[in-house]
Amino acid sequence: MAAIVHTSCLSPIHGFSKVGCMMMGPSPSVSNTNPTTTNQLVQLGKSDVRVSQIGIGAWSWGDTLLWNGSWDDKNIKETRDAFNAGMDGGLTFFDTAGWKGGDSSESLLGRAIKDRQMQGKSGKAIVATKFAPFPWRFSRSSVVAALKDSLSRLGLTYVDLYQLHWPGLWGNEGFLDGLGDAVDQGLVKAVGVSNYNEKRLRAAYNQLANRGVPLASNQVHYSLLYRLPEENGVKRTCDELGITLIAYSPLSQGILSGKYTAANPPSGPRGRTFNAAFLAKVAPLLSKMKEIGQRYDKSSTQVALNWLLAQGNVVPIPGAKTAAQASEFAGALGWELSRDEERELHIIARNVQPIQGFPAENF
């Protein structure tokens, strides 16, 4: 397995050593202490980019289709506060997507970064964004062209991580060359993919390696309620090749927070997916998460994120639209589940049939 690389050499967490240490096997003892703090960084694959152990997903910022019925000044202020709370709490890695102009997640993140700089606040945001391989984008040049539009919306001269949002129906080799071109032109520090299965992941890794460019990450759906990366070889391949697995939807769209029950399902599109029948099946897992969280004075949200960290080589990016959410995510660091607790949650979660994932995983 590929070791997670930290910025100092302290005791390993579940078998992954820090910089300058040899990789070690799992400790036979059970421990709930963890010297990790929110200001430590992990290496993104084999690239030179280091990110916070938990990032913040900003895809929902500006969205009015799935997450928000409307978007107004109040929403903008809340996301600005979420950004600052993340930065202040050591969650400095922000993942967004270049879907559109206007008040997109990119433009909102860019304005938040600029505002923080103007206020003289400390910290540097590590920014990731994506290229969407729409059917009308055919060539490698479209990757750099789209990236330049993203940089304009972000107000940046480069991004730390640029990712192919999903495998294209065609043109994938050209898109990967486009990522390499972006590196050569100094527009990005690292490149990654998203929603790639094992076969495509290995092909992308090899093609970029031929240009001397490391494939830093694969961003996929991964949580206690969606463990396909463990079953389809993606997690194993990431560990083998030294590719960081970035976990989106690590809270299963809020279900793992414990906020929803069969009697109180989420509203809108999520309510059709996470209906009363599904939530009834999830109840034993949510109950155990709450029980474990009480032992550490932690929320179910923090337990869910800590479980992902315990899998090793995983950087969760839960979505935060408020300062309270960002601050809660930071509370998932600085402690760790015991081995027994981690395994117990895994066993209980297996009794829940996962929801349908993003179709691109099967392309």
Q: What is the pLDDT along the chain (363 residues), one digit of tens a residue?
A: 333 333 333 333 333 333 333 333 333 333 354 434 556 899 999 999 999 999 999 877 866 555 555 678 888 899 999 999 999 999 999 999 765 544 688 999 999 999 999 999 999 999 999 998 888 887 899 999 999 999 999 999 999 999 999 998 788 899 999 999 999 999 999 999 999 999 999 999 999 999 999 999 999 999 999 999 999 999 999 999 999 999 999 999 999 999 999 999 888 777 788 889 999 999 999 999 999 999 999 999 999 999 999 999 999 999 999 999 999 999 999 999 999 999 999 999 999 987 766 777 777
Helix (H, G, I), strand (E, B) or coil at 50: strand
Name the strand (E) or helix (H) holding 115.
helix 105-118
Token pair for 34: 């963890």
Give me the pLDDT at residue 30, please: 35
Q: What is the DSSP letter of 25?
A: P
Name the residue among 199, 181, 200, 301 with its Cα closest to residue 191.
Answer: 181
pLDDT given for residue 12 in this prediction: 31
pLDDT at 137: 85
- pLDDT for position 362: 75
Judge contact between 87 and 121, C-beta under 8 A: yes
Tokens of 279: 């939530």
pLDDT at 243: 98
Q: Give pLDDT, residue 103.
A: 62
The rounded distance, in Å, linking the Cα atoms of 256 and 225 is 8
CA 348 to each of CA 67, 249, 283, 307, 343: distance values in angstroms, whole numbers, following the listed order: 29, 19, 10, 13, 9
The tokens of 304 are what?
Answer: 């869910």
- CA-to-CA separations, 181 to 127, 214, 243, in angstroms, rounded: 19, 13, 20
Neighbours of 318 (CB within 10 A): 27
